[in-house]
Amino acid sequence: MPMDAVLRFDRVSHCYGDVCVFDQLSFTLARGQIGCLLGASGSGKTTVLRCIAGFEPITEGSIHINGVEVARRERQAPPEKRQVGMVFQDYALFPHLSVAANIGFGLRSLARAVRTRRVDELLEVIGLQRSGSAYPHELSGGQQQRVALARALAPKPELLLLDEPFSNLDVEMRERLGQEVRDILKQQGTTAILVTHDQIEAFAVADEIGILHRGHLAQWDTPYNLYHRPADRFVADFIGKGVFVPGVVLDDHRIDIGFGTLTGRLASGSDEGDVAPVREVDVLLRPDDIVHDDASPLKARVVHKAFRGADILYTLTLPDGRQALSVVPSHHNHALGEEIGIRIEADHVIVFRREGDGPAPGSDGARGLPQPARTQRSSGPVPN
């Protein structure tokens, strides 16, 4: 394990008989980093958190925190011996205690003066210096969440766990508080891992994200790599928005997608060689890959539009009947049924073997199959 690793999962499983909630998970989290387990309901992410905390046993593998083994099948250290703090989904503040008393709850063994200094420090960190004497019911949801975070940080845990910490808040508050929480954790130098089903929340808070799918870790990587370099078809489809369009490999440097040719080095990224020998492929196009351009000879018809303030997400029908998404600045307000010019500007075009040419990456039984190929920047569309 790297010297600076605070959390290490080594082929960890949690099973009930023959049914595994998650299976063979391996990842590490470095000191001061914020990790995230992202997945749909039922993917096993909360159970992972409970196993880290010591609330659930593991049935295979081992968990290390700060270099100390805290869990394996034969031995499970109790939660109070793991130096772990936790922020719960429902905040779990004590309603009969003031904000200051809630924050200082885990510091009762310290001298009064030391405890008071730590509480005052955290009240300033969370921006509630004047609310120490208030009670939880007198605070907003966002303020309560910050108090819950301060209470978990007060004992200076080796690792902080956050279980769907913003799910009770509205969208605007989640985005703002997510950035605030990240800033607080970074200021305190705290190593943390959260679980969520919300991609925006995960991207706003985490340095590294693990995608959980059917109890398996599909990819553990930076947000940038998850979006631009997905390990398999499931991750590519799960992260962000996009559509798969069929393509034909022309040679080692070009893929024809019908309404344009993508040009670049088609490096596979797997141990099985370049994608060029595969004739038919699927190409993932993100909404930001398709750019509105009135001067382009390539036209698409607007069939749906979603106004999002600064931009509009258009669903477009291409001349051959296929559909694609495009993000366009909102001052380009086109009507349904209108034809607009488009061109491709794709810095990261992700290419997979065509479905039907064997198991698709990310499907059952697909472990070890080739990762996606990636092209370099497109030279633009070449209309048919």
| Contact status, residue 210 vs residue 27, Cβ threshold 8 Å | yes
234: in domain? no
pLDDT at residue 356, as a whole number? 58
Give first-to-last CA distance, the chain, whole Å.
54
Residues 47 and 149 in one domain: yes
Q: Which of 201, 228, 255 is the last residue of a domain?
A: 228
Distance CA 289, CA 343 (A): 8
- Number of domains comprising the chain: 2
Q: What residue ranges in 137-265 does DSSP mark as E strands? A: 159-163, 192-196, 208-213, 216-221, 243-251, 254-256, 261-263
Dihedral of alpha carbons 312, 318, 321, 325, sign: negative
Residues 34 and 119 in one domain: yes
Helix (H) / strand (E) element for 362: namely: none
Q: Which of 179, 196, 228 is the last residue of a domain?
A: 228
Q: Which of 228, 258, 287 is the last residue of a domain?
A: 228
Residues 92 and 210 in one domain: yes
pLDDT at residue 358, as a whole number? 40
Residues 162 and 28 in one domain: yes
Dihedral of alpha carbons 256, 257, 261, 266, sign: negative
Residues 96 and 212 in one domain: yes
360: in domain? yes
Residues 315 and 186 in one domain: no
Residues 190 and 253 in one domain: no
Residues 9 and 127 in one domain: yes
Residues 274 and 151 in one domain: no
122: in domain? yes
Range of the domain at 274: 241-375
* Class of residue 89 by CB neighbours under 10 A (exposed 0-12, middle 13-18, buried 19+): middle
Distance CA 173, CA 1 (A): 37
pLDDT at residue 382, as a whole number? 33
pLDDT at residue 41, as a whole number? 86
Residue partners of 239: CB distance under 8 A and separation at least 6: 199, 211, 226, 227, 230
CATH number of the domain encompassing residue 52: 3.40.50.300
Which residues does the chain have with pLDDT short of 70? Answer: 1-3, 264-278, 356-384
Residues 186 and 71 in one domain: yes
Residues 87 and 222 in one domain: yes
Tell how far CA 367 is from the center of its chain: 21
63: in domain? yes
235: in domain? no
Q: What residue ranges in 254-361 does DSSP mark as E strands? A: 254-256, 261-263, 280-285, 290-292, 299-307, 311-317, 323-329, 339-344, 349-353
259: in domain? yes
384: in domain? no
DSSP conformational letter for 267: B
Residues 367 and 262 in one domain: yes
